Amino acid sequence: MAGKDMIRFLYGEAAATVGTAHGRYLIVGDLHIGLESEFVRKGINLYNATEFMSNKIRKMAESEDVKGIIVLGDVKETLLYPTMSDRKKITDFFSALAKYEVVITKGNHDSHLDEILQSAGVSLVDEHIIDDFAFLHGHKWPSEAAMGCSVIFAAHNHIAVQIVDENKAIYTQKAWLVAKLNSKAARERYQKFHKGASLIILPAFNDLIVGTPVNKIIGNNLSPLLRSHTFEYDTAQVYGIQGALLGTPKSLRIKEQ
């Protein structure tokens, strides 16, 4: 059985690697390809943003010597069918990663992605399980098979944290969230689950997205696993993008006051 010591956050990056009996995998989420079009409409031109993102993932995959790449959903930005330009960005993005085994767990933004990537050689699934690890986007309830894993990786929430420095300046940075299972709450929905399970939520990989600070109430935007207290949000561990343990959503809100 794979252990938690086989998981490594790539500090300074919104990515992780996980070692399995089948090889090592790079994990990213929330690419939101096409988001730069929103900036263009506002008069801000961002050139080659998607190419920059695929190059960064490819370099990380090479340096970490991984077998494959798991994308935790929201590959595209629009909820609708993307423009021809954005479709090309999506296909070019995955063409650049063609040497790797790529699995996408579909997110709430990924309608029509199957037809866009039908000849790209990638796998699109609702969730993916390898050994004792489950991978999913996080916008809907996992299967019991996923809940039987010791670690669930998700994205969706664009986790971030608001920091106050020694000069009282306030800034926001991407963050990781690691939450523990609440067996009592899990039992209300699932017959079988891993009683010692952890939920790891990655920050958004797209550099144009910082995210929503855990210092603020996220409310209905939270994953159903957190909103239902199946995994405890208030007492989860929040790690800054550079790896420092910053506290919990509850303690960080107290500090903000």
- The Cα 55–Cα 86 span in angstroms is 17
pLDDT digits (tens, 9 = 90+) for 239-257: 999 999 999 999 998 544 4
Question: Alpha carbon of 200 to those of 42, 81, 243: distances in Å?
Answer: 34, 30, 14
Polymer length of the chain: 257
pLDDT digits (tens, 9 = 90+) for 154-185: 999 999 999 888 888 888 999 999 999 999 99
pLDDT (average), residues 229-238: 96
- The Cα 186–Cα 225 span in angstroms is 9
pLDDT digits (tens, 9 = 90+) for 5-42: 599 999 899 999 999 999 999 999 999 999 987 776 77
User: Residue 106, exposed/middle/buried by CB under 10 A (0-12, 13-18, 19+)?
Assistant: buried
Which CATH number describes the domain made up of 4-256? 3.60.21
